[in-house]
Amino acid sequence: MATTRRTFLTSSLAATATLATGATSRAATPGGAAAREYYELRCYGLKAETRLKASAARGALDAYLEMALLPALAQRGVKNVGAFTEIKVDKPTVTSTPIPDSPLWLLIPHATLESFVSVNAEINNNPAVQKAGAAYLQVAKASPAFERIDSWLLLAFKGMPRMAVPAFSKTRTPTRVFEMRDYESHSELKALNKMEMFDAGEIEVMETLGMSPVFFGQALAGPNLPHLRYFTSGSDLATHLGNWKKFGPDPRWVKLKDDPRYKDNTSKNTARFLVPTAYSQL
């Protein structure tokens, strides 16, 4: 399985290198489109399955991310890294509760594909990272710090080539909440069609309704392809849910939804509600 994943990732990176070159070329051309960012989305599973005998405590992982990884990323010019855990939301009562043994989600923006590659290949060889993250990196075999790590490589949509950091993230509003949606498609062509639908107006509707989208990304490598993923957000849960209620009946969205060009382009929609960790930069 590991060999298959490595082979798939290698081939995907080779294929997307051309995309990266093209995006850079367009950005350098007067009037050209802005270069599109890449995002790595990691999911650190902490619930016991096969590797763990009991669900892992987050202490070592949190310390590694806060004291080792994020400072090392900052030295490389990588900023606005988000770290989140999941919550269960009751929409009728507009309340939420933490999910026991929640995975930890890490969102890392990269200006270039080379940044993604070098971070994953090199950063844990940094002596400062090894020292600051020793409890996590040198964990005993009998008590791993995680069950598994899943990772996705995403390419920003043309309609939103750069991450947008909400004002309430900049001020670290304690009640801020994020929603991550994953839209799977039954064919690769329909997945591209759904992305086109976002670029054709769906992103604009979300922005004008105050839904504070953070990013939209095409999954280039990782589990459950083909799919896209995006974050919307709010200063608090009530505001966020209220903005989503405005989205459904908005005439611009209704027109897009009913356009036969975009028929049957999504087969599964998974929504997760997230709250930032104390050290999250989003």
Whether 104 is covered by a domain: the verdict is: yes
Whether 282 is covered by a domain: the verdict is: no
Q: Which of the 8 DSSP states describes residue 176?
A: -
Taking only the tens place, the pLDDT of each residue in 234-255 is 999 999 999 999 999 999 999 9
209 has a pLDDT exceeding 70: yes
Closest CA to 216 of 161, 166, 264: 161
User: In which domain, by residue range, is 47 found?
Assistant: 2-26+34-276
Whether 190 is covered by a domain: the verdict is: yes
In this predicted structure, what is the pLDDT of residue 7? 42
- Pure H helices in 144-187: 167-170
Residues 204, 115, 269, 12: what is their CA dihedral angle, to the nearest 10 degrees? 120
The pLDDT confidence band at residue 33, using thresholds 50, 70 and 90, is: low
Whether 158 is covered by a domain: the verdict is: yes
Cα 49 from chain centroid?
Answer: 24
Average pLDDT over residues 193-197: 97
Pair 267, 185: CB distance under 8 Å: yes
For residues 61 and 65, give the distance between their C-alpha atoms in angstroms, rounded to a whole number: 6
Report the CATH number that the domain containing residue 156 is assigned in CATH.
3.30.70.100
Place of tokens 């897009």: 256
Whether 19 is covered by a domain: the verdict is: yes
Across the chain, what does the average pLDDT equal?
90
Selected residue with higher pLDDT from 65 and 2: 65
Whether 116 is covered by a domain: the verdict is: yes
Taking only the tens place, the pLDDT of each residue in 121-144 is 999 999 999 999 999 999 999 999
Q: CA triplet 77, 137, 86: central angle to 5 degrees?
A: 70
Q: How many domains does the chain have?
A: 1
The pTM of this model reads 0.86
Whether 72 is covered by a domain: the verdict is: yes
Whether 201 is covered by a domain: the verdict is: yes
